[in-house]
Amino acid sequence: MDTSPRTPHRMDPAGGCPHADNARLLERGAVAAVVLPGEVDGMAVLGHAALRDFLAHPEVAKGATHFTALREGRIAPGWPLATFATVRGMTTADGDDHRRLRSLVSKAFTARRVEELRPRIEELTAELLDDLARAAGRDGGVADLRRHFAMPLPMGVIGELLGVDAEHRERLHRLSSQVVATDIGPEKALAANRELVAVLTAVAAARGERPGDDLTSALIAARDEDGDRLSQEELIGTLVLMIIAGHETTLNLLTNAVRALCGHRDQLRMVLEGEVSWADVVEETLRWDAPVSYFPFRYPVRDLTIDGTVIPRGTPVLAGYSAAGRDPAVHGLDAARFDVTRPGRPDAVRHLSLGHGAHYCLGAPLARMEATIALERLFARFPDLEPALPEAGLVRHSSFVGNSVRALPVRLGAPRG
């Protein structure tokens, strides 16, 4: 058991690239003490095997009643991570409540329902590639791939799934980006959360008046038919979670995959020549540059020993997905190397970047489908696409939760087809 005193790692609210810190922390162990914004003590589980065990541990909870500092009133109003702990929905519920809320949403993400979305995803991808080309034509051959392609694709899909009108989507993206930011001040954090809830309350009201074939209408019907199944607060909390998780993860995944492929042109060539599948590109990107770096929170319901380190009861714990993806103890001494052939190797270990256990990402099949279609169509049309700035010139997210860059200006090159 690790009882030696160590200086806790101070999480940088400004975010930045996590990989250097992750490697240093992993050398010390699979679990690290951390200081969260607001001088809140926490822990992070970084190693792949330790994280897998922790995510599925029966004595680890998601409900905020287990967060000791929050329960005792030691968390200041406007704390930037408050939404992750306090929003009412399936990601902050345990046991029967979690199963009830998850069952209400899961029908929209069955294999059959996801596959039925394929034609619409393909159609939307083609429209956005046209938009990307027009944007590059207006701006001297350079366009922000993130703004014109990687964001509107998953936001469009989740918006249609939820019945969110198109005019709300850019505003919802802006607000969700503020909600997941870890460097935001208390006043802005509170304002962003209030506005996000207000917009989604208006969306729910509109769907209540004009029900459609969408998930929000189905959730409202479940609430109205049997109030015990879904409260109004849980309805809005579910919409908050669906909007954020339903587009931010895929947005970062697409952005990170394009950066990785452009930085490894030999591997891009292998994919374009059919030697490796686009699905393999998606899986290797999820492992190598996870779209979510440190996801808040889980809480041990008793003092828990993970890989020899004690995590005290009620401690807020971050799931270190980006660290686990490059853990050499599991992924090999070349874990820090991007390798699109890795997912097909017999010794490959599946990553944890979309979670594990009861809270495994419900939208994982949809995210994988969106990313696979988008990357294949993007590089089929623009095989010579390249970043307009060097990697060092790209500005990172202001968050240690999301892992990507704020913008990805690219030159498209000559199109094909």
pLDDT tens-digit profile, the chain (417 residues): 344 447 899 999 999 999 999 999 999 999 999 999 999 999 999 999 999 999 999 999 999 999 999 999 999 999 999 999 999 999 999 999 999 999 989 888 888 889 999 999 999 999 999 999 999 999 888 999 999 999 999 999 999 999 999 899 999 999 999 999 999 999 999 999 999 999 999 999 999 999 999 999 988 888 777 656 788 899 999 999 999 998 999 999 999 999 999 999 999 999 999 999 999 999 999 999 999 999 999 999 999 999 999 999 999 999 999 999 999 999 999 999 999 999 988 888 999 999 999 999 999 999 999 999 999 999 999 999 999 999 999 999 999 999 999 999 999 987 886
Helix pair 265-272, 278-288: axis angle to 10 deg = 150
- Which pLDDT does position 4 carry in this prediction? 43
In 261-408, beta strands by DSSP E: 294-300, 304-306, 309-311, 317-320, 386-387
φ and ψ of 188, to 5 deg: -65, -40
Judge if the upstream peptide bond of residue 382 is cis by omega within 30 degrees of 0: no
Bridge-based pairing state of the strands 60-61 and 294-300: antiparallel
- Which pLDDT does position 228 carry in this prediction? 63
- Which pLDDT does position 357 carry in this prediction? 94
Q: Which residues pair with 292 in a beta bridge?
A: 402
